[in-house]
Structure 1
Amino acid sequence: MGRPAPMHLSEDERDHVQVFVRRGKANARTLTRARVLLKSDAGWIDAEIAQALDISEQTIRNIRQRFRAGGVEAVLTDKRQERRHQALTDEQAAHLIAIACSKVPDGHDHWTVRMLAGQAVELGYVRGISPETVRQLLKKTR
């Protein structure tokens, strides 16, 4: 693969990244990205940067691409991840809590998460649910 196009930071960008690295208040991954910017600006080649920072050359290419797409801030800030789909709606969670607060079936002294999951499916509140989801819900609502 050929040598990548040179990447240059403006004076303000370079100062901003240097202060960012010196401050050291970010996570290690973000600080590494900042160091890649500084070394790329200084004219280091990918192999040298990779060896000095103990990262892959593909990581360096990804950082450069991110810089070209959105500038320094795109490199120094992580994108906010999308929230995952919630396993239960508020109504389903309320039903599950109501089951947990109801009388325990004969032969048992307390509800287990497996019993609660099975009961929720049996009553038709959900098509399927894992005991771990039930456990997390109950932990969150204590």
Structure 2
Amino acid sequence: MLLASDETVDRQSQTYLATTYHLSTRSVERIRKDYSEQGMALFQPKPRQPRSDKKLTGELEAHLIAIACSEPPMGESRWKLQAIADRLVEPQVVESLSHTSVATVLKKMNSSPGGSKAGRAAL
């Protein structure tokens, strides 16, 4: 795309480049601008930044799994993801937690809330 947009060689329009390379005209503009500012460094791999905003530490994950493996609340046959999240938030273990985060931890541990007794023992 950059070669086709070179002014010293038969420069193509943004619309033509966008259509040819399945990009938006805004993407063509951005790529040209980034290349003019960064040169070949644009194509060097960028180091990944470690996530520092992770809410659940290993200790909290263990607490979450312990809750999921315990008996579900009265009147329920199994734990609901939101109920597990709420249980962790109640005693100020964590400030806030979504049911999606609970599901991610349980999936990572190959578990599910209120799974079979055999599944609980396997954890």
TM-score (norm 1): 0.59
What is aligned with 2:75? 107
Give 1:140 shift.
Answer: 0.8
Residues matched between the structures, number: 106
CA shift digits 1:95-128 (9 cap, x unpaired):
1111112233332222121221121112321122
Which runs of no fewer than 5 residues in structure 1 stay unpaired? 1-35
Distance change (3 Å), C-alpha of 1:38 and 1:88:
same
What is aligned with 1:38? 3
Separation in 1, partners of 2:83, 2:18: 52
SS in 2 for 1:37: coil
| 8 Å contact from structure 1 (residues 46, 60) kept in 2 | no
Distance change (3 Å), C-alpha of 1:51 and 1:134:
closer
| 8 Å contact from structure 1 (residues 87, 133) kept in 2 | no
CA shift digits 1:25-82 (9 cap, x unpaired):
xxxxxxxxxxx112023331334423443534332221122222333451x4664564
**Are 2:28 and 1:60 aligned?**
yes
> Is the helix fraction higher in 1 or 2?
1
Which runs of no fewer than 5 residues in structure 2 stay unpaired? 111-123
Separation in 1, partners of 2:25, 2:61: 47
SS in 1 for 2:4: helix
Map 1:1-142 to 2 at 5 A.
36-41=1-6, 42-47=9-14, 48-72=16-40, 74=42, 76=43, 79=46, 82=49, 84=51, 85-142=53-110
Distance change (3 Å), C-alpha of 1:100 and 1:56:
closer
Cα root mean square deviation, aligned = 2.5
Identity %: 33
TM-score (norm 2): 0.66
| 8 Å contact from structure 1 (residues 46, 57) kept in 2 | no
